Chain A
Amino acid sequence: MDGIHDMGGMHGFGKVEPESNEPVFHASWEGRCLALNRAMGAIGAWTIDEGRAGIEQLPPEVYLAASYYGKWALRLHNMVVARGLAGADELAAGHKLHESEPPARRLAVADVPRTLNRGSFERSAATPARFAVGDRVRAKNMHPPTHTRLPRYARGHVGLVEAIRGCHVFPDSTAVGGGEDPQWLYTVVFAARELFGAAADPTLKVSIEAFEPYLESAQP
């Protein structure tokens, strides 16, 4: 999706403003919001890719104006309603209004250690990797209207395969309920001048982690 979330290389957002001695959370609701989102992911309410797509589908003006955890709260609200886990009327009222099917899974205290571990997304491969380290590849000129992890600034540009990272769950598929459809994952490195033109920093290289369907051969 060519959305506002795909920010790499954009101009006009100003300086980075680091905060000294930044707290982990700036308000207590931020921690509750993070934990709620992690909890719903841990009980399998949606996948990590469906969750990311949920953030990207926020209207662009909301995406830019809301804080980070503000976006998480809006995403959680939208996904809970869209999946029928609770009604919009109940979330507006702040308490349960209807009886509903008991959930298949509940996030309990005993589950917490598991939720703190990052999931594993590597899968066994059905086919050998198409590209080898050192291959010249072009990031495809593709613009799916749904979730993808190929940033716009890389599309159409030629880079080198630097590493093969294994075969991983394909976000473009899981985000739309299409199953894991595992794909080979590569680190592809580009010269900044290839990505951003002749005025770019000649000392700079940028790499992306690219799934095989994002790439085509550019071997001479």
Chain B
Amino acid sequence: MIERPAMARVCYSAGVPGGWRENRRMAQDHDHDADGHHHGSELSEMQLRVRALETVLAEKGYIDPAALDLMIEAYETKIGPHNGARVIAKAWSDKTFRQALLADATKAVRTLGLVNPVGDHLIAVENTPELHNVIVCTLCSCYPWEVLGLPPVWYKSAPYRSRAVNDPRGVLADFGVTLPSDTQIRVWDSTAETRFIVLPMQPVGTQGWSEEKLATLVTRDSMIGTGLPKFPSEVA
């Protein structure tokens, strides 16, 4: 019942079975082979497999390919970390909203009227000078799509999923982030249908900025906890 593809047909990066690494490398190497006849690469294998699935499922009446087009367009253009950045910027500039966000993020974010309604149990966790929060899903790839879009490859990768829970400082170093040695770290493993977003600390020197300008400081990684917001000098 479970298909086991021949290993020779799965793409390796320099002989290392590091599927978490190959995504972009293979795309760069092979994406131009649009005819899908590049035998031996995962791309052609997967391109053909996905094409066959779409064709057969459409012929049998399960899906309309035009609906797939619309879904892809939404993920590419509408659903992304710019939505989360709006949430964080509002929390920085509006104390009432900040309290509402920390009390019930699903409800608070819904009031912003983002393109997508927020699913149940979005939970905002607040960074402070004493505490830094990091979000992971060790079992798969759970991620707050509504506010951050689709997760990046590294979030779904074995190195991140394995190390985030027992070596978050090492993971942060991979992102170029160093925290004081006495900062408490809290890792949230998203093992159910609750979803987490980090409310990072507002950068010093940005009090009184407009929500729009504040949003430019908010990086995707700062809302996952693997990064910090930009310095004001980076966006001024």
> Which of A's residues lie within 8 Å of B, judged by CB?
5-19, 22, 24-27, 29, 31-36, 38-40, 43, 45, 52, 55, 57-59, 61-70, 73-74, 76-78, 80-82, 85-86, 90-96, 100, 102-103, 106-109, 111-112, 115-122, 149-151, 153, 165-166, 168-169, 171, 185, 187, 189, 192, 195-196, 200-201, 203-211
Contact = CB atoms under 8 A, between A and B. Distances in A.
Interface in B1-47: 1-5, 7, 10-12, 17-24, 26-27, 31, 42-43, 46-47
A185 B121 CA distance: 11
A8 B161 contact: yes
B61 interface: yes
B201 to A, nearest CB: 17
A197 to B, nearest CB: 10
A25 B52 CA distance: 19
Given A31-B72, A107-B64, A204-B187, A73 B10 contact: no
B68 A40 contact: no
B19 A67 contact: yes
B49 A73 contact: yes
B119 interface: yes
Contacts of A26: 23-24, 26-27, 31, 153
B127 interface: no
Contact of A69 (B46, B117, B169): B46
A80 B53 contact: yes
Interface in B58-93: 59-64, 66-68, 70-72, 74-76, 79-80
A102 B61 CA distance: 7
A112 to B, nearest CB: 5
B46 A73 contact: yes
Contact of B4 (A32, A59, A211): A59
Contacts of A103: 60-62
Nearest to B190: A209
Contacts of B118: 118
Given A6-B139, A70-B42, A73-B49, A16 B154 contact: yes
